[in-house]
A = this chain, B = another copy of it.
Amino acid sequence: MRIGFLQLRPRFGAVKENVRKAIALLDQLSDATVVLPELFNTGYLFRNEEELSSLAETIPGGYTVSEMQKLAKKRQLNIVFGMAQRYKGAYYNSAVCVTSKGKIEVYQKVHLFDREKLFFTRGKSFKIVSTEQAKLGLLVCFDWIFPEAARTLALGGAQILCHPSNLVLPYAKDAMKTRCIENRVFGVTANRIGSERRGTMFLSFTGGSQIVNPAGDVLASASDRSESLRVVEIDVGEALDKNITTNNNLFEDRTPSLYKALVRKRR
């Protein structure tokens, strides 16, 4: 199967422009599973909840999902992308998967970063999407720093971590190699580039989107400067084999009875 990323430079607030550009670039492609950045349609630096409210969309029904769904069917793509979701009176930083068969699945980001906590609500579950080719585990950006997130997805059967991102810290790309190695899964991190200045706030995004295999090898990567679509052919079956020596299977060697501290409620 073929997996890839589309690294983009969204313009804040220009939803139609951002979606149209993504569609124009993806329209070159067919029969692939491709990941776009977090909040690719709106940009990242919301000043406040009012601004978020004016840009968030419903799933399904909203403009962005409708357009991406049409494209997914037309080009036989599974597309994972990040967007601001309006849902039951709250806002979620969500990763959406639209499949070539018309399915829509949503993951609401669990581990919110910094100011996101001011207006986004934290998600309440992880999400694995079954497509015809593979099981996709959805992560959004800062989820990378919590090993429990990728581990939960991998234990649930995810073979490919799909990781829409707006990374500003320098550590995630190496850490995602560790996530792939420790779980024997593929990882696709789709980061954005460019910067946003909103009032006194300024963020610069670090690009470097990458596709990593279960051995931790980078199969494809992007620079920190240009929008970029990269697709590679993989054998997703590699992610089913958790053996790393004759005597070691990474999942069977786990000792869950010793890991209880990880699920203990704090305070």
Write out the residue numbers on chain B whose beta carbons fall within 8 Å of the beta carbon of A252.
266
Question: What residue in chain B is nearest A175 (Cβ atoms)?
Answer: B178
Binary contact track A24-48/B, C-beta < 8 Å → 1, others 0: 0000000000000000000000000
Q: Does A265 contact B (CB under 8 A)?
A: yes
Binary contact track A100-129/B, C-beta < 8 Å → 1, others 0: 000000000011111101100010111000
B216:A171 contact, CB within 8 angstroms: yes
Q: Give the contacting residue for A175; candidates B182, B258, B260; CB below 8 A.
A: B182
Q: Give the contacting residue for A263; candidates B171, B177, B244, B260; CB below 8 A.
A: B260
B174:A262 contact, CB within 8 angstroms: no
A148:B263 contact, CB within 8 angstroms: no
Chain A: interface size category: 35 or more
Binary contact track A42-60/B, C-beta < 8 Å → 1, others 0: 0000000000000000000
Q: Does A264 contact B (CB under 8 A)?
A: yes
CB<8 Å pairs between A and B, sample of 20 = A111-B255, A113-B245, A113-B248, A114-B246, A118-B247, A125-B258, A145-B181, A147-B182, A148-B254, A148-B262, A151-B259, A155-B261, A171-B177, A174-B177, A175-B178, A256-B263, A256-B265, A256-B266, A257-B265, A259-B263
Q: Does A152 contact B (CB under 8 A)?
A: yes
Question: What residue in chain B is nearest A263 (Cβ atoms)?
Answer: B256
Closest chain-B Cβ to A216's Cβ sits at a distance in Å of: 6
A117:B247 contact, CB within 8 angstroms: yes
Write out the residue numbers on chain B whose beta carbons fall within 8 Å of the beta carbon of A125.
258
Number of copies: 2
Provide the bound-state CA to CA distance between A114 and B250, in Å. Answer: 11
B264:A256 contact, CB within 8 angstroms: yes
Q: Does A146 contact B (CB under 8 A)?
A: yes
Q: Does A62 contact B (CB under 8 A)?
A: no
Provide the bound-state CA to CA distance between A245 and B114, in Å. Answer: 6
Q: Does A253 contact B (CB under 8 A)?
A: yes
Write out the residue numbers on chain B whose beta carbons fall within 8 Å of the beta carbon of A254.
146, 148, 266
Provide the bound-state CA to CA distance between A126 and B248, in Å. Answer: 20
Question: What residue in chain B is nearest A253 (Cβ atoms)?
Answer: B111
Q: Give the contacting residue for A152; candidates B115, B155, B175, B258; CB below 8 A.
A: B258
Q: Give the contacting residue for A262; candidates B124, B171, B256; CB below 8 A.
A: B256
Write out the residue numbers on chain B whose beta carbons fall within 8 Å of the beta carbon of A110.
255, 258
Provide the bound-state CA to CA distance between A98 and B256, in Å. Answer: 29
**Given A174-B178, A262-B263, does the pair A253, B155 have CB atoms closer than 8 Å?**
no
